[in-house]
Structure 1
Amino acid sequence: MTTVAVLGGGIGGLAAAYYLCKSPQVSKVILVEASSRVGGWLSSTRRADGAVFEHGPRGIRPAGAVGRNTLNMVDDLGLAGEILPVTYSHVASKNRYLYVKGQLHKMPSGISGLLRTVPPFSRPLLLSVAMEILVKKNKEDDESIHSFVTRRLGKELADIAVDSLCRGVFAGDCRKLSIRSCFPPLYNAEQHRGSLTLGMLLGSGPTPVIPPGPLAQRSIEESWAQWSLRRGVESLPESITDYLQQSGRVELHRDAAVRNICPSNSGWKINLEDGVVSADHIISALPAKALSSALPSSCQPLIQELQDIATVTVAVVNLEYDGSILPAMGFGHLVPSSEDRGLLGVTYDSVPFPEHNRPDGQTTRLTVMMGGAWFQEEFGDPETVSEERLLARATEAVHCHLGVATAPRWSWVALQRDCIPQYYEGHYRRVESMRSFIKKKSLSLSLIGSCYDGVSVNDVIFSGRRAVEELLGTGATKEVVFVGRADHVLRRTQPLN
């Protein structure tokens, strides 16, 4: 009987468990999680008065193969009736803002927006796009996002729009982040078509084939831009956990951290705080540094590569105000690093998901994101910064950016340490090197999660599916052991996906 240990009970580990349980080759799953809960960064507060606040991703995109894959899972879990869709025609999809030079500016959208000069930009965006076709292909195998966009679309777009986008998605610095690893469709478009425009129109390489189920098909027909769940996105890991327990093949162990793992005659011996587990194969959904500290010294080259994957800390503050206080309706606004290095952006949560407001009385929910790659220089050591200081900075930003003079009626301060991996230039080489080492040494080990192949919820879920399919394709899997931790700490959250 084959035993597989999957380290980590976040959404990646849960997804791996789900796909293992879907296979007739799997007869038993044992889930071992270091914390008291599973689900990782997908965490929602449901107040007694009906309001819902997200302490992790607040909306999930349905587009592409990985988006369809997640919706197929949601459908299978019986959550279709809980879906809160936001269409492309919704004001939250059409209106996204940048805060530049002390003012909110709506991002250009539609043909008219591309044809006109729209502040804060000094020329029509269509001009940059048209000229991009004439730019020669880069011969280097990777470059920073800022360099890539500057070369192809101009420095202004790189300094303002792309800088802000990278702060919203990765809480990172576009001058360090890799275009190849962070935005592979853009990199592939240039490599395969010689142009972003042609790549977007003609396609830029193979993509996974995921047929849409009924829910994914509905998202296409209704033109969803994003979606959430009625009781918050934490409903997804909760439903996966219920599915695993109801399958009759899962043993769930909480509060059982991994101390170390070492080779054994049959594969691996995993030392836990409350005992020892033996396994033939490991699927690790742990953060890279957490895995590096558990591996044996014989894996030193792999350990070093794992330790070199940087992460950033993000402070997130959820705010609730009485009344309708927004001067502009939309998804929210992002802030370029040239404007305010410490303030990443503000989401207007009540606009895309009013269903999460408390049902009695008019309120407005906002989320302020701060720090990221600039946390240390703006706030100092995450271990010593106070919640009071973070709350004051967040409410000051709401007052300054949105003109809200009143104090919030409710707030929640979250400090998320080392939450988002940073794919710096050459990240793809590091991942290839790690997997090459694993293959060369014939290690029974798979790497999944946000540290390697994408930081979004969809990417992480799909990495679990891919690892399971690769494993089951090599032989029958009978027993599965989940070990590790989601690295969840109360009052932490994740910035925009």
Structure 2
Amino acid sequence: MRSIAVLGGGIGGLAASYYLCKSLQVTKVIVLESSSRFGGWLWSTRRSDGAVFEHGPRGIRPAGAVGHNTLNMVDDLGLAGEILPITHSHAASKNRYLYVNGQLHRMPSGISGLLRRVPPFSRPLLLSVAKEILVKKGVGDDESIHSFVSRRLGKELADIAADSLCRGVFAGDCRKLSMRSCLPLFYNAEQHRGSLLLGLMLGSGPSLVVPPGPLAQRSVKESWAQWSLSRGVESLPESITNSLQQSGTVQLHREAAVKQISPSASGWKIHLEDGVISADHIISALPAKALSSALPSTWIPLIQELQDISTVTVAVVNLEYDGSILPVTGFGHLVPSSEDRGLLGVVYDSVFFPQHNRPTGQSTRLTVMMGGAWFQEVFGAPEAVTEELLLAKATEIVSRHLGVTIPPSWSRVAIQRDCIPQYYQGHFRRVESMRSFIKKNSLSLSLVGSSYDGVSVNDVIFSGRTAVEELLGSGV
């Protein structure tokens, strides 16, 4: 019997288990999750009146190989009928805002937006894009996102657009985040074509290909920009969990925190609070620091590399207001660090997924995201911050930014501790070093999840698939 232990029951661990179940080579999969629920950061609140609120990712992109891969999984799980798609022509796709100098500014879009000067930018963006073709390729194998954008497109775009984007996507500081690891499409465009514009137009080297199934084909035909599910994104890990339970191959364990793992003659001994589990191979979907604390103390090089991957904490405040209270229609607005270091952005949930509103009486759902790389600086230690303080800050922001004068009719505050890994400059070397150590020492260990190869839901799911394919290809 070949048994595989999957450490961590977030979407990465569940995805790896899902792909393992498709193979006849594996006869036993043991999933160990430290909390009382599976799904990790894919976490939805479904209120009794039908309203849905997301405390983590709220929309998933369908594009590219990894996007097709996730939609193929959704199809396989029988969730196609629950898909809520948003097209590129939808107002939430076309209208995105920045809050700069105390005002909301719609981001430029389309040819007309590129040709004219659109505040908060001081000149037409087409000038920056046209000049970019003439910029020399950077030296070195990595640089910060801020440095890259400053060099190719100008400091203003780096200070405002790149800064805001990194806060919205990674809750991180663009002056520290790695261009190569966080935005590989743009990094590779420069490497292969010497220009972002030429790279995006002509392609930038070989790319992953995942044959699109019926749902992914539909997403291309209908020009989806993102999608969710009718009962929230948590339906995806719930469906995977149900599928695993019915497989006959998988044992699912909640509240089973891994204390220590140690090599044995036949593979691994995994020490839990109340016993020991044996496995031939381990797929770790644990956060990097959590895995480092469970490894044998003699594996210093691997432990150090894992510990060097930082994470940030984000306060997610869900708000519901009676009536229609938004002055603009769009996805939401982001805030550069120069404007407000503590506020990352506000998402207008009701605009792009109105199906998640309560079915009776008009209402508006918003999500205020705060903290990230600036959490400690602005709010103090996460364990000491009160939900009351964060709620007061969030409602004050909505009032000041959007002119909302009424209090919310419902709210929920979630402090998501260490939820987003930060890929600082040189991250790719760190990951290469880890996998080199594992290979050199012939360890039956695979690393998946957001700590290594991408933080998006699609990236994490695909990392689970890749690990399983590499594992089964090795004859395990």
TM-score range, shorter chain: over 0.9
What is the alpha-carbon distance in structure 1 between the residues aligned to residue 278 and residue 313 of structure 2?
Answer: 34
What is the alpha-carbon distance in structure 2 between the residues aligned to residue 2 and residue 159 of structure 1?
Answer: 52
What is the alpha-carbon distance in structure 2 between the residues aligned to residue 245 and residue 103 of structure 1?
Answer: 51
Q: Which residue of 2 aligns with 1:117?
A: 117
Q: Which residue of 1 aligns with 2:50?
A: 50
User: Shift of residue 169 of structure 1?
Assistant: 0.4
Aligned residues of 2:2 and 2:28 also touching (Cα < 8 A): no
Q: Which residue of 1 aligns with 2:443?
A: 443
Q: Which residue of 1 aligns with 2:401?
A: 401
Report which stretch shifted further, 19-28 or 68-77: 19-28
What is the alpha-carbon distance in structure 2 between the residues aligned to residue 325 and residue 73 of structure 1?
Answer: 37
What is the alpha-carbon distance in structure 1 between the residues aligned to residue 158 and residue 29 of structure 2?
Answer: 47
User: Shift of residue 18 of structure 1?
Assistant: 0.4
Amino acid at match of 1:379: F
Matches within 5 A, 1:186-265: 186-265=186-265
What is the alpha-carbon distance in structure 1 between the residues aligned to residue 432 and residue 253 of structure 2?
Answer: 33
Q: Which residue of 2 aligns with 1:364?
A: 364
Is the partner of 1:227 in helix, strand or coil? strand
What is the alpha-carbon distance in structure 1 between the residues aligned to residue 165 and residue 421 of structure 2?
Answer: 16
Amino acid at match of 2:197: T
Q: Which residue of 2 aligns with 1:300?
A: 300
Aligned residues of 2:2 and 2:25 also touching (Cα < 8 A): no
What is the alpha-carbon distance in structure 2 between the residues aligned to residue 415 and residue 251 of structure 1?
Answer: 30
Is the partner of 1:350 in helix, strand or coil? helix
Amino acid at match of 2:180: R
Count of residues in correspondence between the two structures: 476
Aligned residues of 2:4 and 2:30 also touching (Cα < 8 A): no
What is the alpha-carbon distance in structure 2 between the residues aligned to residue 442 and residue 32 of structure 1?
Answer: 23
Is structure 2 residue 311 aligned with structure 1 residue 311? Answer: yes
What is the alpha-carbon distance in structure 2 between the residues aligned to residue 45 and residue 300 of structure 1?
Answer: 41
Matches within 5 A, 1:139-150: 139-150=139-150
Q: Which residue of 2 aligns with 1:75?
A: 75
Amino acid at match of 1:413: V
User: Shift of residue 84 of structure 1?
Assistant: 0.2
Q: Which residue of 2 aligns with 1:176?
A: 176
After TM superposition, the score normalised by the length of structure 1 is 0.95
Amino acid at match of 1:157: L
What is the alpha-carbon distance in structure 1 between the residues aligned to residue 386 and residue 73 of structure 2?
Answer: 40
User: Shift of residue 34 of structure 1?
Assistant: 1.6
Is the partner of 1:98 in helix, strand or coil? strand
Aligned residues of 2:190 and 2:196 also touching (Cα < 8 A): yes
**What is the CA deviation profile of residues 408-428 of structure 1, one whole-angstrom value per residue up to 9, with x for unaligned ones?**
000001101111000001111
User: Shift of residue 24 of structure 1?
Assistant: 2.3
What is the alpha-carbon distance in structure 2 between the residues aligned to residue 32 and residue 176 of structure 1?
Answer: 33
Is the partner of 2:305 in helix, strand or coil? helix
What is the alpha-carbon distance in structure 2 between the residues aligned to residue 473 and residue 95 of structure 1?
Answer: 45
What is the alpha-carbon distance in structure 2 between the residues aligned to residue 68 and residue 258 of structure 1?
Answer: 33
What is the alpha-carbon distance in structure 1 between the residues aligned to residue 25 and residue 296 of structure 2?
Answer: 30
Q: Which residue of 2 aligns with 1:185?
A: 185
Is the partner of 1:452 in helix, strand or coil? coil
User: Shift of residue 29 of structure 1?
Assistant: 2.3
Amino acid at match of 2:371: G
Where in structure 1 are there 5+ consecutive unaligned residues? 477-497
Aligned residues of 2:82 and 2:229 also touching (Cα < 8 A): yes
Q: Which residue of 2 aligns with 1:161?
A: 161
User: Shift of residue 279 of structure 1?
Assistant: 1.3
Aligned residues of 2:171 and 2:312 also touching (Cα < 8 A): yes
**What is the CA deviation profile of residues 290-331 of structure 1, one whole-angstrom value per residue up to 9, with x for unaligned ones?**
000000012111001100101111111000000000000000
Aligned residues of 2:149 and 2:158 also touching (Cα < 8 A): yes
Q: Which residue of 1 aligns with 2:330?
A: 330
What is the alpha-carbon distance in structure 1 between the residues aligned to residue 322 and residue 51 of structure 2?
Answer: 13
What is the alpha-carbon distance in structure 2 between the residues aligned to residue 121 and residue 390 of structure 1?
Answer: 31
Q: Percent identity?
A: 83
**What is the CA deviation profile of residues 125-179 of structure 1, one whole-angstrom value per residue up to 9, with x for unaligned ones?**
1110110000000111110000000000000100001100000000000000000
Aligned residues of 2:3 and 2:26 also touching (Cα < 8 A): no
Amino acid at match of 2:32: V
Amino acid at match of 2:303: I
Higher RCO (CA 8 Å, separation ≥ 6 residues): 1
Is structure 2 residue 271 aligned with structure 1 residue 271? Answer: yes
Amino acid at match of 1:142: D
**What is the CA deviation profile of residues 225-246 of structure 1, one whole-angstrom value per residue up to 9, with x for unaligned ones?**
0000000000000000011111
Matches within 5 A, 1:455-466: 455-466=455-466
User: Shift of residue 17 of structure 1?
Assistant: 0.5
What is the alpha-carbon distance in structure 2 between the residues aligned to residue 156 and residue 211 of structure 1?
Answer: 40
What is the alpha-carbon distance in structure 2 between the residues aligned to residue 119 and residue 465 of structure 1?
Answer: 43
Report which stretch shifted further, 227-236 or 269-278: 269-278
Amino acid at match of 1:82: E
**What is the CA deviation profile of residues 357-412 of structure 1, one whole-angstrom value per residue up to 9, with x for unaligned ones?**
00000000000000101111100111111111100100000001000010000000
What is the alpha-carbon distance in structure 1 between the residues aligned to residue 247 and residue 283 of structure 2?
Answer: 21
What is the alpha-carbon distance in structure 1 between the residues aligned to residue 379 and residue 462 of structure 2?
Answer: 35
What is the alpha-carbon distance in structure 2 between the residues aligned to residue 21 and residue 407 of structure 1?
Answer: 49
